[in-house]
Amino acid sequence: MGRSAIAAALALGLLATGASASGDPAAGKLKAAVCSACHGADGNSIDAIWPKLAGQGAPYQMRQVMAIRSEHGRVNPEAATMVPMVANVSEQDLEDIAAFYATQVPTVEAADPVLAEVGRQLYQAGDPERNIPSCMSCHGPGGRGNRLAAFPQLGGQHAAYSAKQLLAYRDGARTTDAAGMMREIASRLTDADIEAVSEYLSGLHQAGG
């Protein structure tokens, strides 16, 4: 990943932060009631079809929900089911909901220790021989992401959901990544890489990120 591409991604992420600066978590808690059926009352979804939103940065949430609403950048059945859910919701309501979920604490899953160890090495060190950067460089050692740059929190996310998103980036079905950064990285990942790093993320504790 070149420095210019990373700089561009950071710039786009910084622009995205302004969209959710005025979210009210208290108001969002009430407005998120309808979201709880899929994402859980506190943003920790039970079914891996739906992502955990607890602790996810509000700017990132806003960027994704606006992409879903415009039906641009995310092509899959699950995103399609979200379109009517957010089509007529005001931007302020979306900001409030995002702010609420951002204040919640994500849970972690029980990860397979052998597979997670392989994923840990890729997450923390990448693979220089294949020009794969460490995931940690953008998403932090604890998987908490970078809210300023609108890089998502990954720690504690369902392994199946993380794997599906990495495959979508690799296959070009998802194009919401700034400057194509995730598509470029995912293009170098094997199925085994994706399975391992997703397993590691599911059990990654939120300390130190």
pLDDT, tens digit, for every residue of 43-101? Answer: 999 999 999 999 999 999 999 999 999 888 887 788 888 999 999 999 999 999 999 99
What is the SS3 assignment for 74?
Answer: strand
Q: Taking the model in full, what pTM does it have?
A: 0.86
Give me the sign of the Cα torsion angle 178, 3, 150, 118: positive
Tell me the residue ranges of DSSP E strands in 33-171.
none
d(CA 198, CA 200): 5
Q: Please, what is the end-to-end C-alpha distance for the chain in angstroms?
A: 22
User: Tokens at residue 96, please?
Assistant: 């409030």
pLDDT above 90 (res 22): no
Backbone angles phi, psi at 188, to 5 degrees: -100, -5
Q: What is the pLDDT of residues 113-142, one digit of tens each?
A: 999 999 999 999 999 999 999 999 999 999
Which class for 208: exposed (0-12), middle (13-18), buried (19 or more C-beta within 10 A)?
exposed
pLDDT in tens, 150-189: 899 999 999 999 999 999 999 999 999 988 999 999 999 9
